[in-house]
Amino acid sequence: MTQNNANVENRSYTDELQVMGEQLLSKVKELVHEGNVRRIIIKDQSGHTILEIPLTIGVVGAILAPTLAAVGAIGALLAQCSIQVVRTETPGSDETPQG
């Protein structure tokens, strides 16, 4: 039996967003719906990791609901926090269409 391994190189990059506690849940939901986000890391003001959410293709609301409940509770406790967003980008996704 032979296997074909397509060597598709994925690039990833990281964004860091500063949000107020009450905006945390809505921002995380927005990031989840974007589709190219692979990991969300919530940090407190001093930079300590509070919660790390790995996202995979096919994550649905029922599986993500307990995590979002935890995010809502964290947002209620923190005055300000940062969200580190790890995104993946497949080759060719930054090419502009030619017309």
- Mean predicted confidence (pLDDT) in 71-88: 90
pLDDT at 61 over 90: no
**What are the structural domain ranges in the chain?**
30-89
Q: Which of these, 74, 70, 40, lies nearest to 55 by C-alpha position?
A: 40
20 phi/psi in degrees, rounded to 5: -80, 155
75 phi/psi in degrees, rounded to 5: -60, -35
Residue length, the chain? 99
Beta strands in 1-99 (DSSP E): 11-20, 37-43, 49-54, 80-89
Q: How far apart are CA 95 and CA 87, in angstroms?
A: 17
Query: Residue 19 is encoded by which pair of tokens?
Result: 């949000």
| Confidence class for position 10, pLDDT limits 50, 70, 90 | low
Q: What is the pTM assigned to this prediction? A: 0.72
Query: Residue 97 is encoded by which pair of tokens?
Result: 């269409």
